[in-house]
Amino acid sequence: MSFDMYQENILDHYENPYHRGTLADPTLEHRDLNPLCGDEVRIQAHIDEQNHLTEAYFDGEGCVISLAAASMLMEEVEGKTLEEIKAMDRQDMLDLLGISLTTMRVKCAMLPLRTLEKAIHLYEAK
Amino acid sequence: MNDTSDTPAQAAFNVEAIRHDFPILARSVNDHPLVYLDSAASSQKPLAVLDAERQYYRTSHANIHRGVYVLSEEATAAYEQAHEQVGDFIHADWDEVIFTKNTTESLNLLAYAWGLSNLQAGDEIVTTVLEHHSNMVPWQQIARRTGATVRYIRVDPQGHLDMEQAAALIGPRVKMVSVAHVSNVLGTINPVDELGRMAHAVGALICVDGAQSIPHMSVDVQALDCDFFAFSGHKMLGPTGIGGLYGKRQLLERMEPFLFGGDMISEVTLEGSSWNDLPWKFEAGTPPIAQGIGLAAAVQYLQNLGMEAVHAYEHSLVSYALEQLRQVHDIEIYGPDADARGGVVAFNLPDMHPHDIASILDQQGVAIRGGHHCAMPLMRSLGVNGTCRASFYVYNTVDEVDTLVEALGETRRILRR
């Protein structure tokens, strides 16, 4: 029986997430919903003068896939420029997770990245 | 796990023979036999339904009501006969049954066609917290357009409507009470006859959302004395793309059409038009002919089984499911006891998300639903984001309930809970 989706490293991120919590005075922040299930993710981040993301935190309610994705994403984006983050797509997120997902569950995996990218757009639109 | 002594309802119901009528049940999913426990979302289809549609397309298809040739007359007769079969099933006249796309369209038809011309500022519509979004959002929209207000009957922790509050809410300003016959999440069988009496006592109308009742129990719109009854074909063994709205004749006759176009007119001039007779006044354009014929075959299939027997069998299944699921460690089960519920069981396991549970069950061939079930206000009132939901129909077995319970144990192991 194969349960590719729920590999050990995915469950490790779910149980001991990286940077789950709240950031004081975030430079950018956004909260978004997965309409499929009502799950919710909030992402907050600080950025420096060169537009590097220095620190990002997430919080929310969600399944293993969306929360593990959020944890991995928080690790991945630290030190990247906003341009680099905006260039990340679905495949990048799936590569990060390293598992194969059914179509519906891809939406869960994409929620954190979509939320972060929206936060960046909102910040840049200010 | 299951003792082999069947209940009388299980013994009287030849579920193995029934399963042979549903070709899809023979397939496997992820190398396991399919265990389909999501009939509340959409039921599977028996050969009789597949064959009826196929036969129609192969032998009699043409557009209805206009051609004077044999094919058109055969198609017209079959489509009208489908209205008769459905009317007979719910104890209504054939022309009081309007075919629509599904329950959602039926409720929108009612909200627009009745609501826009009968509601004004100060009027009230009463519905409940446990509704499917399809019996909530249309009324909210019509209320916004007319200045009416929507009020909601609460649900108690056991999943029953607060009937004292209902009595207080249903007052002289109320023009419409629109309530689910059976909750699609909790399975609660709501006292719609009593709510109908309350509505009529203040001069209001009652609409029953029968999407989750008509597949599973006998429905008699005369005995219920409901003014409207909305349902979907695809949840009652029929095809997708067909549903219905029953309305009392005098109410339907007074209502303006919802959609305008071909087949719904009596006469069209450049100055204006007059409307066709019931039910065609509400069935503009070429209707879902094959789907209507498929629905009639589904109704015939259910009539052959007998709705009393269907209900008794499902009651025995859901009782068994509740009994077995209650033994799962730390499980939270929502809704009333088996006697007050249809074939639906919603539950949660601690620290496990419904989507993760549903995904891991799917790996084991078990199809259940995880999420908010289009009932977000009910989820909020239960204090959860979502639940798992297993729902049963005529082709499910006690063995499948056992498979579900075993698969939940496996899920717990995989998620390290």
Q: Where are the domains of chain A?
A: 4-121
By the 8 A CB rule, do B1 and B324 touch?
yes
Portion of chain A with pLDDT greater than 90, in percent: 83
Residue B350 and residue B317 share a domain: yes
How far off is chain A from B412, nearest CA to CA, in Å?
Answer: 12
Both tokens of residue B273?
A: 């038009």
Q: How far apart are CA B128 and CA B87, in angstroms?
A: 27
Which residues in B lie closer than 8 A to residue A38 (C-beta atoms)? Answer: 371-372, 376, 379, 385-386
* Total domains, chain B: 2
Find the CATH number of the domain harbouring B126.
3.40.640.10
Q: How far apart are CA A49 and CA B306, in angstroms?
A: 74
Question: What is residue A3's predicted lDDT score, i.e. its pLDDT?
Answer: 61
If 0-12 CB within 10 Å is exposed, 13-18 middle and 19+ buried, where does residue A66 land?
Answer: buried
Residue B72 lies in a domain: yes
Residue B407 lies in a domain: yes
Looking at residues B121-148, what average pLDDT do you find? 98
Residue B312 and residue B246 share a domain: no
By mean pLDDT, which of B67-71, B100-104, B173-177 is the weakest?
B67-71
In this complex, do A37 and B372 lie within 8 Å of one another by their Cβ atoms? yes
Residue B341 and residue B275 share a domain: no
Dump the DSSP string for A4-25.
GGG-HHHHHHHHS-TTBS--SS
Chain B residue with CA closest to A63: the answer is: B353
Residue B265 and residue B123 share a domain: yes
Q: How far apart are CA A63 and CA B370, in angstroms?
A: 11
Both tokens of residue B166?
A: 């209902």
Residue B250 and residue B317 share a domain: no
Q: Which domain holds residue B106?
A: 49-304
B12-16's contacts with Cβ under 8 Å and 24+ in sequence apart are: B12/B309, B12/B312, B12/B313, B13/B305, B13/B309, B13/B312, B13/B313, B13/B394, B15/B313, B15/B394, B15/B395, B15/B396, B15/B397
Whether the model pTM is above 0.80: yes
Q: Which of B304, B319, B351 is the last residue of a domain?
A: B304
Predicted ipTM? Answer: 0.85
Residue B265 lies in a domain: yes
Q: Which of B304, B321, B347 is the last residue of a domain?
A: B304
Portion of chain B with pLDDT greater than 90, in percent: 91
Residue B331 lies in a domain: yes
Residue B270 lies in a domain: yes
CATH topology (fold) of A4-121: Sufe protein. Chain: A (3.90.1010)
Looking at residues B124-142, what average pLDDT do you find? 98
Confidence of residue B331 (pLDDT cuts 50, 70, 90): very high
Nearest by CB to residue A61, choosing from B362, B370, B385, is B385
Question: What is residue B5's predicted lDDT score, i.e. its pLDDT?
Answer: 55
Instruction: Determine the angle formed by the axes of helices B354-363 and B398-414, rounding to 10 degrees.
Output: 110
Torsion B322-B319-B371-B158 (CA) sign:
negative
Query: Angle B366-B369-B372 (CA atoms, 0-180°, nearest 5)?
Result: 165
Q: How far apart are CA A92 and CA B215, in angstroms?
A: 45
Dump the DSSP string for B225-268.
T-SEEEEESTTTTS-TT-EEEEE-HHHHHHSPPSS-STTSEEEE
Using the CB atoms, write b or e for A25-61: b if 16+ within 10 Å.
Answer: ebebbbebebebbbbbbbbbbbbeeeebbebbbbbbb
The mean pLDDT of chain A is 93
Candidates B122, B150, B153, B121; CA nearest to B136 is B150
Q: Which of B287, B304, B321 is the last residue of a domain?
A: B304
Both tokens of residue B249?
A: 């004749």
Question: What is residue A39's predicted lDDT score, i.e. its pLDDT?
Answer: 84
B28: β partners: B33
B386 touches chain A (CB under 8 A): yes
How far off is chain B from A96, nearest CA to CA, in Å?
Answer: 19
Q: How far apart are CA B312 and CA B317, in angstroms?
A: 9
Residue B122 and residue B265 share a domain: yes
Question: What is residue A37's predicted lDDT score, i.e. its pLDDT?
Answer: 74
Task: Give yes or no for residue A2 having a pLDDT over 60.
Answer: no
Contacts of A63 (CB under 8 A, 6+ apart): A37, A39, A108, B353, B354, B355, B356
Looking at residues B393-410, what average pLDDT do you find? 97
Omega before B279 within 30 of 0, i.e. cis: yes
B307 three-state secondary structure: helix
pLDDT by residue (tens digit) across B171-225? 999 999 999 999 999 999 999 999 999 999 999 999 999 999 999 999 999 999 9
A33: β partners: A40
Looking at residues B369-395, what average pLDDT do you find? 94
Residue B43 lies in a domain: no
Q: How far apart are CA B395 and CA B39, in angstroms?
A: 10
Residue B270 and residue B231 share a domain: yes
DSSP letter, residue A47: E
Residue B175 and residue B68 share a domain: yes
The mean pLDDT of chain B is 95
Confidence of residue A4 (pLDDT cuts 50, 70, 90): confident
Both tokens of residue B276?
A: 């066709």
By the 8 A CB rule, do B73 and B196 touch?
no
Which residues in B lie closer than 8 A to residue A11 (C-beta atoms)? Answer: 415-416
Residue B40 lies in a domain: no
pLDDT by residue (tens digit) across B155-182? 998 999 999 999 999 999 999 999 999 9
**Catalytic residue numbers of B, as ranges:** 374
Question: What is residue B6's predicted lDDT score, i.e. its pLDDT?
Answer: 67
Task: Give yes or no for residue B278 having a pLDDT over 50.
Answer: yes
B414 touches chain A (CB under 8 A): yes
Residue B273 lies in a domain: yes
Q: Print the SS3 string covering B166-220.
A: HHHHCCCCEEEEEEECECCCCCEECCHHHHHHHHHHCCCEEEEECCCCCCCCCCC
